[in-house]
Amino acid sequence: MAGVYLHIPFCFTLCGYCDFYKSTKLDKMDQFQNVLLMEMESRSVDFRFPIDTFYVGGGTPSLIAADFYQKLFSLLHKNFNCSVNMECTIEVNPDDISEDYLHALKNAGFNRVSIGIQSFHEQDLRQMGRRHNAQQSMQAVALANSCGFSNIGIDLIYGLPWSTEQFFEKNLQIVKDLPIQHLSAYHLTIEKGTGFHRLKQSGKLTEIDDSRSLREYEMLCNEVEKMGMQHYEVSNFCLSGYESKHNSSYWNGVPYLGLGPGSHSFDGKKRRWNKSDLTLYNKGNLDLIFEEEVLSEVDFFNEQVMLGLRTSKGISLTEMEIRFPHYYLDFLKRIDKWIHRNNLVVTNGFITCSESSWFVVDSIIEDLFVV
């Protein structure tokens, strides 16, 4: 099976933390929509995998009128071999949605919504540059639920320099009473090119220390476990059976097709990405908008390590031995020290990261890379 991802690069305002490709040139949306439909039809010719998941992210997909998504689904089903039970997700902002809009999205074909809440505290939202307020966040979840969405996810951000552990705990207490099935919680990282990075460079913003980061992470894990959610990936939690199938396909190495500027694709052998350039994309010359590379054995090995250790499933040692015989013995030696430190665990032939060590998993992954 495979997935299709659409990147909607438009935002009404720019959030200080976000490093995804986006544009505030909303007057370019109509032309973008025309090119996106053209790209979908064109790419369907050489991407012949059965489609099991469809995901619209951004940017802010909820800035696009629902009737466009109806056209999109028609073209998707016309040109791809789509599963009857295809998971179809759209990211929405709390202040964009209404009852009519949600019903239209559902009628178009979406069966899962991901609501970009980030925090239920007004100060947090103002500092991050979010357009909505806390009340709109709770109303958005309630509205999605009342409109018949039974697979609702929300996003939170923790590790905020101006906030406190107590405020984050209050966020989690609000979450436990919401009718959601999925939670993505990300520690704030200050990426180059963002507004927060510029503030950091000028000395106006400082990242929190590691000890507080760890305390908030442990609080997150403990509180979400009380909610009955499973911790199935470093930053993702869900009720049983509500894992994000689309995101899981990335972590499991399943092929996926990316459409729109800044999107990425993988066909099992090579990686392809559209340039992050809306002006170029909107010219509609599909031969000029992308770059690609054929992945080497080292690339595949490192990706297997990186993606596998970020999930509760982990890495199959048998699969590693079969796929990467040249690196397998050295891999066993490298993981041994992490096993003795109780950072990694071997269970039934799978190597996994202990939950307490997921907080530092990037350091473990980097040590296991072949360079």
Does residue 279 belong to any structural domain of this protein?
Answer: no
Of the candidates 114, 101, 30, 28, the one whose C-alpha atom is nearest the C-alpha of residue 66 is: 101
* Residue 348 predicted with pLDDT over 90: yes
What length does the chain have?
371
Residue 55 and residue 187 in one domain = yes
Give the pairing of strands 236-238 and 264-266. unpaired
**Same domain assignment for residues 50 and 111:** yes
Mean pLDDT for the stretch of residues 291-308: 95
Q: What is the mean pLDDT of residues 215-237?
A: 96
Reply yes or no on whether the pLDDT at 356 is more than 90: no
Asked if 245 and 305 sit in the same domain, the reply is no
Range of the domain at 322: 296-371
Query: Would you state the pLDDT for residue 306?
Result: 94
End of a domain among 222, 250, 278? 250
pTM, two decimal places: 0.95
**Cα 252 from Cα 140, distance rounded (Å):** 31
pLDDT digits (tens, 9 = 90+) for 272-288: 999 999 999 999 999 99
The DSSP code sequence of 71-126 is: HHHHHHHHHS-EEEEEEEEEEE-TTT--HHHHHHHHHHT--EEEEEEE-S-HHHHH
pLDDT score for 253: 86
- DSSP β-ladder status, 82-92 and 51-58: parallel
Q: Does residue 160 lie in a domain region? A: yes
User: What pLDDT is attached to residue 1?
Assistant: 82
Q: Is the pLDDT of residue 265 over 90?
A: yes
The conformation of residue 222, written as its DSSP 8-state character, comes to H
Q: Assess whether 201 and 302 both reside in one domain.
A: no
Q: Same domain, yes or no, for 168 and 239?
A: yes
For the record, the structure tokens of 133 come out as 């307020």
In a shared domain, residues 213 and 355? no
- Are 220 and 301 in the same domain? no
**Domain final residue, candidates 221, 250, 279:** 250
pLDDT, one tens digit per residue, over 32-87 is 999 999 999 999 999 999 999 999 999 999 999 999 999 999 999 999 999 999 99
Give the full edge-to-edge strand order of the sheet including 256-259.
230-233, 236-238, 182-187, 152-158, 112-118, 82-92, 51-58, 2-8, 256-259, 264-266, 270-274, 290-294
In whole angstroms, how far apart are CA 248 and each of 38, 77, 282, 354, 360?
Answer: 28, 22, 31, 19, 21
DSSP H helices, 205-282, are: 210-226, 245-251, 278-282
* Residue 302 CB neighbour total at 10 angstroms: 19
Instruction: Specify the DSSP element, H or E, that contains 149.
Output: none
Tell whether 242 and 302 lie within a shared domain.
no
Q: What is the pLDDT of residue 204?
A: 93
Name the residue among 150, 9, 4 with its Cα closest to residue 77.
Answer: 4
Q: What is the pLDDT of residue 141?
A: 97
Structure tokens at 193: 């090119």
| Residue 283 within any structural domain of the chain | no
Confidence (pLDDT) at 251? 86
Residue 336 in any domain: the answer is yes
Beta bridge partners of 265: 272
pLDDT, one tens digit per residue, over 319-332 is 999 999 999 999 99
Question: Is there a contact between 263 and 58 (Cβ–Cβ < 8 Å)?
Answer: no
Helices (H), the chain: 29-43, 66-79, 99-108, 122-128, 134-146, 165-175, 195-201, 210-226, 245-251, 278-282, 297-308, 317-323, 325-340, 361-368
Residues 6+ apart with CB under 8 A from 183: 153, 154, 156, 175, 224, 229, 236, 237, 238
CATH of residue 172:
3.20.20.70
Given 193, 224, 250, which residue is the final one in a domain?
250
Structural domains counted in the chain: 2
Q: 308 and 207: one domain?
A: no
Same domain, 221 and 348: no
DSSP codes, 275-290: -S-HHHHHTT-TTTSE
**Does 194 lie in the same domain as 54?**
yes
Any domain includes 274: no
Residue 80 lies in a domain: yes
Please name the helix (run of DSSP H) or strand (run of DSSP E) that holds residue 194, with its range, or none. none
Q: Are residues 237 and 313 in the same domain?
A: no
Mean per-residue pLDDT over the chain, rounded: 95
What CATH number corresponds to the domain at position 329?
A: 1.10.10.920
Nearest C-alpha neighbor of 65 from the set 38, 39, 90 = 90
Spatial CB neighbours of 292, under 8 Å, sequence gap ≥ 6 = 270, 271, 272, 273
CB atoms within 10 A of CB 50: 12
pLDDT at 250: 87
Asked if residue 261 is part of any domain, the answer here is no
Q: What percent of the chain has pLDDT over 90?
A: 95
Specify if 290 maps to a domain: no
